[in-house]
Amino acid sequence: MKLIFLGPPGAGKGTLAARAVALLKVPHISTGAIFRSAIAAQSTLGLKVKAVIDAGKLVDDAVTIELVKERLAQADAQAGYILDGFPRTIPQAEALSAFSAADKVVNFDIPDGAVLERLGGRRVCRNCGVNYHIVFNKPKNEKVCDACGGEIYTRDDDREEAVQKRLEVYRAQTAPLIDFYRQKGILIDVDARPSVDEVVENFKKALGV
């Protein structure tokens, strides 16, 4: 199954994707995670995108589209994928439809207040990228990842100014994709407000899996 996860920052896309890969046996492809790995490795791509991401703005369409096109051409993505955080603009959605047709788009429905609460308490493993939350999903030790023992940190773009910018960018550039995909008849709305287990159940029901 070829899925797109669409939703505001902090809606829980990465958290649900981590649960859904086990269920659907497809790779989780997060453009944000790819960019963060590139930044950590100080690669040419990482050096190019770091300031843009830390400020909460979008990386330019051409760079992002090329990256996803190459990733979707790999063997493990042929039977399906979960695309998390791409597309995020109408030009990205139009480009994607020319090289891969998604079966369904999952729209994470959540108010701004919940997003701020989730991002304000998010912590991430620097090594494996697992998401934690200081209230809703605490690691056993606040500095060490339960899954791999890696260091837990706060993302640079989870600072308050960057979060406000990301929400603004979401409303202006990404939210129009809801109608874009609804008109194509492939959009599914999932209530992203309840607990992670309930969101997983809502997702399974909505997809019929």
* CA 113 – CA 54 distance, rounded (Å): 21
Is residue 123 annotated as part of the catalytic site, yes or no? no
Is residue 118 annotated as part of the catalytic site, yes or no? no
Stretch of 8-16, 108-116, 160-168, 201-209 lying at the interface with Mg ion (CB under 5 A): 8-16
* 82 counts as binding ligand AP5 under rule CB under 6 A: no
- Which of 3, 6, 12, 72 lies at the binding interface for ligand AP5 (CB under 6 A)? 12
Give residue for tokens 């930044």.
39
Cβ pair 14, 30 in contact under 8 A: yes
In this structure, what token pair is assigned to residue 80? Answer: 């399906």
Is residue 159 annotated as part of the catalytic site, yes or no? no
Longest dimension (CA), the chain: 46
Q: Angle at which helices 160-169 and 112-120 pack, to 10 degrees?
A: 140
- The closest residue (CB) to ligand AP5 is 32
DSSP run (H or E) holding 124: strand 122-125
Q: Residue 55 binds what, of Mg ion, ligand AP5, none (CB under 5 to 8 Å, by partner type)?
A: none
122-125 vs 131-133, strand pairing mode: antiparallel
Positions 20 through 39 that interact with ligand AP5 (CB under 6 A): 30-32, 35
Give SS3 for 63.
helix
State the Cα angle at 19 between 15 and 21, rounded to 5°.
Answer: 115
Peptide bond preceding 87: is omega within 30 degrees of 0, i.e. cis? Answer: yes
Is residue 126 annotated as part of the catalytic site, yes or no? no
For the window 156-195, what string marks contact with ligand AP5 as x by the rule CB under 6 A?
A: -x--------x----------------------------x
Nearest distance, CB of residue 57 and ligand AP5, angstroms: 6
Among 36, 88, 118, 123, the active-site one is 88
Footprint of Mg ion on this chain (CB under 5 A)?
14
As annotated, the active-site residues are 13, 88, 122, 155, 166
Which residues form the interface with ligand AP5 (CB under 6 A)? 7, 9-15, 30-32, 35, 52-53, 56-59, 64, 85-86, 88, 92, 118, 121-122, 131-133, 136-137, 157, 166, 195-196, 199
